[in-house]
Structure 1
Amino acid sequence: MYASASAHAAALWAGLHLFLLLILSVLVTHQRRKHKVAIGDGGVPELERAIRAFGNATEYVPAALIGLAVLALAGAPALLIHLLGLLLFLGRILHALGLSRSAEATLPRAAGVLATWVAYIAAAAALLFYAIP
């Protein structure tokens, strides 16, 4: 069975995002062990931020990956999927870095949110474009 370049592009970004989610999960586990907190955040700011960085990624990444997969199925060019996947990936990394350093608004955190939202808007627009026969 032949998979299109678009499907390969979507697979690449799905795989990279899964690794990102795994890394963020490991960082939560590391903070839990370090501070001996089995459930919740134990009032530990570093753990709270790690939990939110992972939680925020799990709130945004799945829907975006579904969007990339549907774009691949709809025949969108691989380049478009790569651009959207990269923008989302960079956004999620920036957001996690910014949030891991401070609970306050930081430039990386804000840039990460903006990149994520731009990726969402562009993916939604592309999906609507490819939905029209």
Structure 2
Amino acid sequence: MTVTITPIYAGLIALIFFALSWRVIAYRRANRLSLGDEGDRSLLRRMRAQANCAEYAPFGLLLLLLLELQGASLGMLHAMGACLLLGRAFHAYGFASKPMNLPMRQAGMILTFVQLIATSLSLLLVATGVI
């Protein structure tokens, strides 16, 4: 089986991660900050936005890949990929906004959790032979 859907979302989410990483790097260089956050709250927020993406995106992509390998429909794969992609983009935007855009951040986490739960349940249903 050829995997064709997951790489689309992996590539797009990797670009979000790159943008978040670049924000950290650029801020560090501009403010000559090397290790940790050195008490700089703006740097800490940038670091946490990047780290949050690094914490959730790989697991969501792994679940999406497993779902694709199980032969899920294109509609399901795109719906779950879009949930994860939009969830990560909304969360990053909400977190990076100054002041923080809490509704956007929350919408991002909700979409991310919907993807994690829906793909997990789908995988369990397939694995147990229910569907």
Question: 3-state DSSP class of the match of 2:5?
Answer: helix
Q: Cα distance 1:71–1:96, how it changes in 2: closer, same or farther (>3 A)? A: same
Q: What is the RMSD of the two structures over their aligned residues, measured on CA atoms?
A: 1.6
3-state SS of the aligned residue for 2:71?
coil
Which runs of 5 or more structure 2 residues have no equivalent in the other structure?
Answer: none
Look up the match of 1:35.
31
> Alignment partner of 1:8: what SS?
coil
Correspondence 1:1-133 to 2 at 5 A? 3=2, 7-102=3-98, 106-133=102-129
Distance 1:95 1:108 in 2: 6
Unaligned runs of 5+ in 1: none
Question: How far, CA to CA, are the matches of 1:38 and 1:85 in structure 2?
Answer: 35
Count of matched residue positions in the alignment of Structure 1 and Structure 2: 129
After superposition, the C-alpha distances for 1:40-91 in whole angstroms (9 at most, x for unaligned) are 1122222111100000011101111110111111111122111111111111
TM-score, normalization: structure 1?
Answer: 0.89
- Aligned to 1:63, the other structure's residue is in SS state helix
Paired amino acid for 1:92: R
1:117–1:103 CA distance, 2 compared to 1 (3 A): farther
